[in-house]
Each structure stands twice: as structure tokens, then as C-alpha cells.
Amino acid sequence: MKRLIPLFALCIGLPAAAQTPQLILESLVAKAGPASVARGEQLYRGKSKAGKTADSCVACHTENPKAVGQHVKTFKAIDPLAPVAQKDRFTDPAKVEKWFKRNCQEVLDRPCTPQEKADFTAYMISVK
Amino acid sequence: MNDYGITWKHLASLILAVGATALVIEQAPAGDEAIFPMPAGKTYVNECGSCHTAFAPGLLPARSWRRMMAELANHFGEDASLDEPQHLAILKDLESLAADGPQANLRMRRISAAIPANAAPQRIIETGYFKYMHDEVPRHIWQRKKIGTPGNCIACHIRANEGRYGQGEVRIPPP
């Protein structure tokens, strides 16, 4: 029994935030309506006139969400967005919210709506 | 046994000793190797290394970092703001590992000495030290697709996120 205690401690110590893309999608859908993959893809590929440095998501993430992207200003390589190509994508709700906040502002010059977040996430998960 | 009293055993241990010393010298980080201390844990690399290289704090003085951290909501035109606990933790690390911080090594002190006391530069690539270290890199190299800007340290210094900028760890991406 004594030996089991560290094991329990280990389980409790696991990051509470770790989730699956599906669970994250479900909680986004709960705040919006049913998600649309097609609308999500439109958001991903659409050009925005309000963009400050990037006029679209694809400007940094490329036309192919499974490909390595590149920041338009810093030129840093960006891991693929689609969970199928990068397994830690959409597994940390706080990280997902943080980047929606930053990048919607960056590209659209406004926050994304809960519906847009759900659609976008649904599209990313649908990429095979 | 010969006239000098040297046996093969002596010789062998001498060779071994010399070899071992050479190994130690080889492995010990030379005092002037370009290695900068980095904040412990993953927070710094996760937060400040997401949009670009996680720049070593020792590349700028503490006053530069203080100003940058106070303006994160408009950080070179982008929103890099952090939540309060992370903000405080990162600021503390930046201050203690800064070029003029309490843990500064000789290289870092040289970096800070070259920056006027009344200036708080925000760009590493505009510091005298950076320019001096890269004055032999031709312009067309910076323009390569995978590099793009001198600020993209990690494109060439493959272990930059660990604070390692030594000569043996530079790989310039091909055009």
C-alpha cells in the first residue's frame, strides 16, 4: 500500500487541463450551436480586410492545416494546426482560448464569436 | 626496464592521463562559449517562444525587459499579454538573468556595457553586440525563406531556446 501512494500522487499530479480535441469541441458547441465544418473552413481560408499583419489564418498556417507554417513577421516555423498532424493541438482549453483571443484580434480586428470558435475547431478536427 | 626507469606501464598511464585531460578540456564549457542561462521550467519557452525564438534574457539589460514587460499588450503590434502569475514569474527571471543581472557572465556584461545607460533597447538585433557577431553574414542569407529576419535566431542557432549559441551549434538553412 505504501508503494501505491506515490502512484496516486502521480495520477493527481497529471495536468488537469489535458483534454481531447473532441471534448474541447463539445464544450465550445455547448456555448454556441451545432458546429459547421464548412463555415470553419471558410473562416480558416477567408481573407479579412481588417488584418493588421496577417490578412488570414492561412497567411501563417498555410493553405494546408497539416503543413508546417511560418509567422509572417518573425518567420518562426509554426507546427501544423490540425490535430491529425500535430497531436498536442486542441488538447489544452486555456491554450486554445489564448490563441483564439490573439489571432482573431490579429486577423479580424475583433474577438471571434463562440460559434466561430466551434466551427473552426470542428474544421480542424475534420482534417484527415 | 631501461636507463630512464620508464616502463611501458608508466608510459601507458601517462598516455591515459593526457588523454583524460584532453577529454575534460573538450567537454568543459570553455569560459567564453556562447551559452546563456535560461529560465527554469517551460513557462518562458511556452509563452515567449511561441511567436519567435525564446530569446535568452542575457541578450538585453534588465531595464529593456522591464519596459517590454510593461507593454506586452502592444508588443511590436501584437498582443503578447500574460496572466498575472506568469507575468510576474517571467519578469523575475528576465531581471535575474539579464545582461546586467546578478548572474551575468563576462559575455553578458560585455553586452550590457555596450548599451548606453540611458537606453532600453527593445530589439536584440539592433544591439552593438548582435551586429558585431553577425557582421560577416551576407544580406542574401538573411533573406532565405527559412530565415527571413536576423531575429529568427533559432533558424540558424538550432539550440537557441536552450540559450546555446556556440559555433558548433550553428546550421544555416540552405536556400
B174/A contact by beta carbon, under 8 A:
no
User: pLDDT tens, A88-107?
Assistant: 999 999 999 999 999 999 99
Percent of chain A with pLDDT over 90: 83
Same domain? For B163 and B111 the reply is yes
> How many domains does the structure of chain B reveal?
2
- When divided into structural domains, chain A yields a total of 1
Q: What is the predicted pLDDT for the residue at A13?
A: 44
Q: Are B51 and A77 a contacting pair at CB < 8 A?
A: no
Neighbours of B34 (CB within 10 A): 17
Any domain includes B102: yes
Question: What residues of B are in contact with residue A101 (Cβ under 8 Å)?
Answer: 79
Within a domain: residue B53?
yes
SS3 A15: coil
CB pairs under 8 A between A and B: 37
Residue A11 inside a domain? The answer is no
pLDDT at A25: 97
- Is residue B37 domain-resident? no
For residue B78, pLDDT over 60 is answered with yes
Decide if A101 touches B, using CB distance below 8 A.
Answer: yes
> Same structural domain for residues B151 and B72?
yes
Domain for residue A114, yes or no? yes
In a domain, B175, yes or no: no
B96-119: buried (b, 16+ CB within 10 Å) or exposed (e) per residue? ebbbbbeebeebbeebbeebeeee
If asked whether residues B109 and B47 sit together in one domain, one would say yes
Encode burial over B150-172: b for 16+ CB neighbours within 10 A, e otherwise.
bbbbbbbbeebbebbbeeebeee
- pTM of the shown model: 0.87
Tell me: pLDDT of B92 over 90: yes
Predicted confidence (pLDDT) per residue in A24-45, tens digit = 999 999 999 999 999 999 999 9
d(CA A127, CA A81): 10
Interface of B with A in 64-93 (CB under 8 A): 76-80
Asked if residue A67 has pLDDT above 60, the reply is yes
Q: Is there a contact between A60 and A54 (Cβ–Cβ < 8 Å)?
A: yes
* Residues A53, B77: C-beta atoms closer than 8 Å: yes
Q: Of B76, B79, B151, which has the smallest distance from its Cβ to A102's Cβ?
A: B79
**A12 within domain boundaries:** no
Contact B148, B142 (CB under 8 A): yes
CB-based contact, A73 to chain B, within 8 Å: yes
pLDDT reported for residue A18: 76
Q: Which pLDDT value is given to residue A107? A: 96
| Closest chain B C-alpha to A51 CA, distance in angstroms | 12
pLDDT band at A52 (very low <50, low <70, confident <90, very high): confident
Domain that holds residue A61: 18-126
Residue range B56-64: average pLDDT? Answer: 98
Please give the residue that has the higher pLDDT: either B103 or B162.
B162
User: Hey, how many other C-beta atoms are within 10 angstroms of the C-beta on B131?
Assistant: 12
pLDDT at B9: 54
Structure confidence at residue B59 as a pLDDT band (50, 70, 90):
very high
B27 and B95 share a domain?
Answer: no
A10 is a domain residue:
no
- What's the first-to-final CA gap in chain A, in angstroms? 45
CATH code (residue A85): 1.10.760.10
| Residue A101: CB atoms within 10 Å | 14
Claim to verify: residue B27 and residue B52 sit in the same structural domain: no
Q: What DSSP line would sit under A74-96, residue for residue?
A: T--EE--SSTTTSTTTT--HHHH
Q: What is the pLDDT of residues B17-48, one digit of tens each?
A: 444 444 433 444 445 689 999 999 999 999 99
Task: Report the percent of chain B where pLDDT is more than 90.
Answer: 80
Q: Shortest Cα distance from A103 to chain B (angstroms)?
A: 9
Q: ipTM score here?
A: 0.82
Q: Do A76 and B53 touch (CB under 8 A)?
A: yes
- Domain presence at residue B38: no
Chain A neighbors of B77, CB-CB under 8 A: 52-53
Residue among B45, B74, B79 with most chain A CBs within 10 A, to mutate: B79
pLDDT in tens, B119-150: 999 999 999 999 999 999 999 999 999 999 99
From the CA of B106, how many Å to the nearest CA of chain A? 29
Residue B21's domain comprises 1-32
If asked whether residues B3 and B49 sit together in one domain, one would say: no
The pLDDT score that the predictor gives to residue B29 is 46
Q: Is residue B91 part of a domain?
A: yes
Residue A81 lies in a domain: yes
For A79, the closest chain B residue by CA position comes to B50
Q: Is residue A6 part of a domain?
A: no
Q: Which stretch of DSSP H or E encloses residue B108?
A: helix B106-113
Summary mean pLDDT of chain B: 87
Instruction: Tell me whether A53 touches chain B (CB under 8 Å).
Output: yes
Whether A13 is covered by a domain: the verdict is no
Contact A106, A50 (CB under 8 A): no
Confidence (pLDDT) at B33: 84
